[in-house]
Structure 1
Amino acid sequence: MTEAAAPEIPLASRRQFQRSWFWYDWANSAYVTTVATVLMAPYLTAIAKEAACPGLAENAQCDATLSVLGIPIAPGSLAPYTTTVATIVSAIVLIFTGAIVDRTSQPTRLLGGFAWLGSAAACGMFFVQGTNWQLGVALIILATVSLGSSLVVYDALLVRISTPDERDGVSSRGWAMGYLGGGILLAINLVVVSMYETFGMSKGMSVRVSLLSAGLWWAIFTLIPYLGLRKVKGTQVTPVDAKAGVVGGSLRQLQATFRELRLYPQTLLFLVAYLFFNDGIQTVIASASLYGDQELGFGESQLIVTVLLVQFVAVGGALLFGRMAAVHGAKKMILSGLGLWMAVVVVAFFMPAQQFGLWLVLAVGIGIVLGGTQALARSLFSQLIPRGREGEFFSLYQAMERGTSWSGALIFGLVYQFAGSYRLSIVALILFFGVGGYLLFRCNIREGIRQAGNDVPAVV
């Protein structure tokens, strides 16, 4: 059921499509940085603590619990547990999304629809206040699922607009654009949160305005790829049952995909490796602000400065890893990055409280490896997908993508629930990098590309 090789798009058209494609990384990264990485976890934790322990002083310990479907939940564990639930829901939804993507001739319409649904959820976070943690949980889940669905379409388009030898560079430049765009909005929000009294706002209002700005940024800049990629068509593969309709045909397509995964053992091995090491990366990203706030005693403005530094360093890191991959291969560069991630986790475990200078040094290390490992993982996986099945395979990939880690977030929350220490929670994540790196080392990339029926790039 793989698609015959499509005629290559002329170079000038590819460059135009790629420039438009980059802008969706710019658009959605505002949500990932301002909301998912920096502000929402501490803000939701504060809302949850107020609901469980009314009148509690800021950063004071709350021994009461919330009741979620009759289950007692520590307020400090609500944010990572919400990430866990959001990712489980995403894992189910995204698989169906991928099959639908491969059966539509207008993928940019799906990209815009999912993006604008997610941005609406992000804008709705402006109304999370007081003790209304339930609304915050619901909107995080909706935004996470919408983001993941839009990225299934976005990542699948990478194969349509670039040749195999171009993908490491194109993917890296997209990630660099994302970090730059997310960093610019974060810089603006740093001013708002740090100088809220100057703008006549309360501290809570400054956070809510920042959440709203991320939703608007996401919605507005999505217009560029939506319009610029409208001439890029979807898959030309013949579906399993052309008469079954979108839903019925997608279900049958999924059944065929899972049956055929055994025909692509290296692709499957890469997915399992990615499940582990990306869970570690995403949990570090999602939990860094919570760790810095609750364990090391840093305020919101310091955390925003930290993530802002990571953002701008990651721009150079993504471009650097992309250039080095052209010489050494994407696999070797990802493995090197995972070694550095393990070092970051160990240093974070021993980091003393209130040492902001050392914390910023650690942030520089994260920035160097963050963009590079993620960008190269995306481009490397695109080489292992049978042509015409990009949506389906990237839906499996996106279930484990940024901001949607479930097993890492679950371990992080469970360790805190039973041990009461975020330090133990963060060091437990080293297991994910170690296992993921070992499995990636065992993966034969060249053989996997050949199994998928694709051309092998000069350097992998």
Structure 2
Amino acid sequence: MGTDTVRARATDEVAERRREQHGWYFYDWACSVYSTSVLTVFLGPYLTSVAKHAADADGFVHPLGIPIRAGSFFAYSVSASVILSIFVMPMAGAAADRTGRKKPLLAASAYLGAAATTGMFFLDGDRYLLGGLLLVVANASVAVSMVLYNSYLPQIAPPEERDAVSSRGWAFGYAAGSLVLIGNLVLFTAHDSFGVSESAAVRICLASAGIWWGAFTLVPLKRLRDRRTTPGGGRAPAHGWRQLAATVRDMRGKPLTLSFLLAYLVYNDGIQTVISQASVYGSEELGLSQSTLIVAVLLVQVLAVGGALGMGRLARTYGAKRTILGSLVAWTVTLAAGYFLPAGAPVWFFVLAAGIGLVLGGSQALSRSLFSHLVPSGKEAEYFSAYEMSDRGMSWLGPLLFGLTYQLTGSYRDAIISLVAFFVIGFALLARVPVRQAIRDAGNPVPDRI
């Protein structure tokens, strides 16, 4: 084979890899709008108002005859979606690895979630049960789809490219979330000018996220390709808990991978709690308006784009592990500053939001790329199902600590500062992981900078 032929083949391989990477970015672009517009901004308050409309004189709704405070229905629905995800994610990951057919599973989970989100347009009147059902389906679907999406990373990017590719994916997601949220806020704040009620504006915003999700999912489905990585044909996957237990048993043979996952579980629990509770802190402790909180969310989204890309560049110089450790220090400083924020001062809350945005995308993107080095070849989806459960299925300790601290002290300031523990402990656990040895133990090549 001539030199020119070898060069041409290498060029074709690089071009095909870039094509897949560009398609891969677009799934973050597609589904992140759900997380931003639906979960973070609109659905919680709206579904709560629908449940309150359906409540009895004592403020209770009665799904399946069980009395539940209307104000708790959204939180319980989210919890139900997490429980469902715990059972479904390991099965989806194992099925993808055993059959090598990730794309059909990605398509099924993405379009089921997009359809459920689009169906939220019909969430009006007292249809709180419909809202709860659609939330459970959409939330579980996005969790399953992210297992499959993340598992492509080690297959479409060589070790030296993964930090940058993962960071670009997160940046695409935050950019899409910002773009759609701007459009949603225009419709919501000027709904009278568009001739629709506030309720109809919210329902249009919810449904638009589902349409966006489904439309842009076509790009990764066209560009990504399936790979048969392990033998075994189409063996049926085990039930959720059994498959998860099998994955954990396999990880016990790679204790350093498990050690990283434990560190990620701890500090990511802190990150997810800050994301979910920052608006509560802003409204209840600092007395900020809903419009101020929405603008703060938009600020986080915009700055997270630059933060993800900037930390990706830092990782090329200092390595992913050191950059993540630096981000955990930044998280700690940000929370400490949040403790001292004056009430009724939106400018300082925006400064806090800016700090969160700058470290949010990068810490998540680099954690994903670093974990991809620790996954044995052929078990990408199975291992990423455990990773995604750490991301979505296990993030309950932080909210519990936040709630208990507030219950015992009556102060949201004490509750927010209590979350520093997750970043301090996560830092200590991650610092102890020898990532180069962990990569070798997983049977993967060690990058020059990690």
Query: Aligned partners of 1:419 and 1:84: how far apart in 2?
Result: 25
Call closer, same or farther: CA 1:414–1:127 in 2, change over 3 Å: farther
Query: Aligned partners of 1:416 and 1:48: how far apart in 2?
Result: 25
Query: Aligned partners of 1:48 and 1:295: how far apart in 2?
Result: 25
Contact 1:37 1:288 survives alignment (8 Å): no
User: Which stretch has the larger CA shift, 354-363 or 287-296?
Assistant: 287-296
Matched, 1:106 2:101: yes
Corresponding position of 1:333: 323
Contact 1:102 1:391 survives alignment (8 Å): yes
Equivalent residue of 1:400, what SS? helix
Query: Aligned partners of 2:126 and 2:415: how far apart in 1?
Result: 26
1:170-226 Cα deviation digits (max 9, x unpaired): 000111111111110001011011111211222222211111111111111001101
User: Which stretch has the larger CA shift, 315-324 or 248-257?
Assistant: 248-257
Deviation at 1:139, TM superposition (A): 2.0
Deviation at 1:258, TM superposition (A): 3.0
Note the residue ranges of structure 2 that are not aligned, 5 or more in a row.
Answer: 1-8
Corresponding position of 2:179: 184
User: Which stretch has the larger CA shift, 375-384 or 400-409?
Assistant: 400-409
User: Which stretch has the larger CA shift, 408-417 or 359-368?
Assistant: 408-417
Matched, 1:445 2:435: yes
Query: Aligned partners of 1:76 and 1:440: how far apart in 2?
Result: 38
Q: What amino acid maps onto 2:227 in structure 1?
A: G
Matched, 1:276 2:271: no
Map 1:25-424 to 2 at 5 A: 25-52=28-55, 75-229=70-224, 232-239=225-232, 242=233, 245-247=235-237, 256-401=246-391, 405-413=395-403, 422-424=412-414
Corresponding position of 1:59: none
Contact 2:61 2:68 survives alignment (8 Å): yes
Contact 1:30 1:217 survives alignment (8 Å): yes
1:132-160 Cα deviation digits (max 9, x unpaired): 43332322221111001111111111111
Contact 1:144 1:403 survives alignment (8 Å): no
User: Which stretch has the larger CA shift, 96-105 or 74-83?
Assistant: 74-83
Normalized per residue, the structure richer in helix is: 2
Equivalent residue of 1:315, what SS? helix
Query: Aligned partners of 1:253 and 1:399: how far apart in 2?
Result: 13
Deviation at 1:359, TM superposition (A): 1.1
Deviation at 1:271, TM superposition (A): 0.9
Q: What amino acid maps onto 2:363 in structure 1?
A: T
Q: What amino acid maps onto 2:173 in structure 1?
A: G
Q: What amino acid maps onto 2:255 in structure 1?
A: P
User: Which stretch has the larger CA shift, 94-103 or 125-134?
Assistant: 125-134
Q: What amino acid maps onto 2:268 in structure 1?
A: N
Call closer, same or farther: CA 1:126–1:286 in 2, change over 3 Å: farther
Identical counterparts, % of pairs? 48
Deviation at 1:79, TM superposition (A): 3.7
Equivalent residue of 1:401, what SS? helix
User: Which stretch has the larger CA shift, 72-81 or 31-40?
Assistant: 72-81
Corresponding position of 2:424: 434
Call closer, same or farther: CA 1:159–1:123 in 2, change over 3 Å: same
Q: How many residues align?
A: 441
Corresponding position of 2:4: none
Query: Aligned partners of 1:415 and 1:303: how far apart in 2?
Result: 23
Picking from 25, 40, 61, the partner of 1:22 is 25
Query: Aligned partners of 2:276 and 2:288: how far apart in 1?
Result: 16
Deviation at 1:451, TM superposition (A): 0.6
Matched, 1:12 2:15: yes
Query: Aligned partners of 1:207 and 1:84: how far apart in 2?
Result: 23
Q: What amino acid maps onto 1:361 in structure 2?
A: V
User: Which stretch has the larger CA shift, 64-73 or 35-44?
Assistant: 64-73
Call closer, same or farther: CA 1:393–1:403 in 2, change over 3 Å: closer
Query: Aligned partners of 1:74 and 1:426: how far apart in 2?
Result: 25
Call closer, same or farther: CA 1:283–1:133 in 2, change over 3 Å: farther
Note the residue ranges of structure 1 that are not aligned, 5 or more in a row.
Answer: 1-6, 55-62
Equivalent residue of 2:377, what SS? coil
Call closer, same or farther: CA 1:70–1:429 in 2, change over 3 Å: farther
Contact 1:81 1:410 survives alignment (8 Å): no
Contact 2:82 2:392 survives alignment (8 Å): no
User: Which stretch has the larger CA shift, 263-272 or 244-253?
Assistant: 244-253
1:330-352 Cα deviation digits (max 9, x unpaired): 11111111122223333334433
Q: What amino acid maps onto 1:306 in structure 2?
A: A
Contact 2:86 2:240 survives alignment (8 Å): no
Call closer, same or farther: CA 1:64–1:99 in 2, change over 3 Å: same
Contact 1:32 1:403 survives alignment (8 Å): no
Q: What amino acid maps onto 1:318 in structure 2?
A: A
Contact 1:37 1:287 survives alignment (8 Å): no
